[in-house]
Amino acid sequence: MSRKFLLLILAFGVLLTVPSVIHDTFFLRIITEAILWIGLAISWDVLAGYTGYLNFGHGAFFGIGAYTTALLMKLCGWSFFLALPVAGLAAGVLALIAGIPTLRLKGAYFAIATWALSRAIQQVALVMDITGGPDGMRLPTFLHPDFFYYLMLGVVGGIFALYWFLLEKAPFGLKVKAIREDDQSAMSLGLNPTWIKLQAFILSAVPTGILGAIYAYWITYIDPASVLGDLVTDQAVVMAVFGGLGTLIGPAIGAIIIFLFKTYFWAYLSDYQVLYLIILGGVIAASVVFLPNGLWGTITGYLQTRKASKQEPVSQGITDKGAHHV
């Protein structure tokens, strides 16, 4: 078992003890939301980092999951646990329907298409009476912070473990990476790039819809701006890019750092919300220029280089000694 995996298990074990240590509801709420953003960042990275397709409509799946849960609970009288898997299914169906035409596009064309999809769904939610229009919807109240903390932690932990297996250990991860590098070469090896990209799209969307469902029940009120707005996608993009694309640990680290900055910014500089968006854009630009591999990729690259530089003199000394002996 790798050291990284052991550290992740240890971190998960520590997080399990948080509610018994922190009795302040406010701080527990902050940690719960931080875990939510970790899930959103790593789910966005499935398509962007591993497959090489930038999805600027990621928030659409989050919103679909939130609205599906709200409608089923409020209009149909379903329990939350019945609505939860349906929310993930709805996000997966949306990814299937949208992915068939859009995944044939490449580069900026795919990014624009997914952004347009997200905007279209937001406009539909704004004009429909069943969704409450711009006034939004209220869900049944369930005020149990510990419940939502453990639920969010369990779901995001499960998502992380699933992605770790599929993308790092299973053959599926090699397939999506092959498509990311060169889909034409992947096709020559007998792979079907469109089908594999569609699988990755759905794999990214379903957990996002489930997270949207949990968020809606946790917050008890949703509207198009809060769950279908650009900010959901924008923050997930910044977190993943800053942390390091094509990894799972990178986006998780990026999510924690960016979320803590966001919390501090909104607590003390709430009158300058436009400035926050400018800073997000600046972080992306700076990451691309100075940290092309992200924070985690830069750190691991530096450590590998340092390790190799330490081993090289040892190997050289052994070689020189052998040559002298001969």
pLDDT digits (tens, 9 = 90+) for 141-164: 998 999 999 999 999 999 999 999
User: 67 with 227: CB under 8 angstroms?
Assistant: yes
Mean of the per-residue pLDDT values of the chain: 88
Give residue-wise pLDDT tens across range 28-49: 999 999 999 999 999 999 999 9
Using a 10 angstrom Cβ sphere, with 0-12 exposed, 13-18 middle and 19 or more buried, the burial of residue 37 is buried
* d(C-alpha 326, C-alpha 261), whole Å: 61
- Each domain of the chain, given as residue ranges in start order, spans 23-292
Residue in 286, 225, 232 with CA at minimum distance from that of residue 255: 232
Instruction: Provide the token pair at 156.
Output: 């995001």
According to DSSP, residue 317 is labeled: H
Q: What is the mean pLDDT of residues 58-76?
A: 95
Higher pLDDT, 55 or 280: 55
pLDDT of residue 297: 85
pLDDT of residue 7: 78
Torsion sign, CA atoms 52, 57, 62, 68: negative
Residue indicated by tokens 């473990």: 161
Is pLDDT of 83 > 60?
yes
Q: Residue 142, by phi and psi: left (phi above 0), alpha (psi -120 to 50) or beta?
A: beta
Q: How confident is the model at residue 2 (pLDDT cuts 50, 70, 90)?
A: low
Is pLDDT of 326 > 50?
no
CATH node for 23-292: 1.10.3470
Long-range contacts of 117-125 (CB under 8 A, 24+ apart): 117/57, 117/60, 118/56, 118/57, 118/58, 118/59, 118/60, 118/228, 118/230, 118/233, 121/60, 121/63, 121/64, 121/228, 122/60, 122/63, 122/224, 122/228, 122/229, 125/63, 125/67, 125/224, 125/228
Give residue-wise pLDDT tens across range 256-284: 999 998 888 877 776 666 787 788 788 88
- Minimum mean pLDDT range among 122-136, 210-224, 264-278: 264-278
pTM listed for this prediction: 0.89
* d(C-alpha 224, C-alpha 221), whole Å: 11
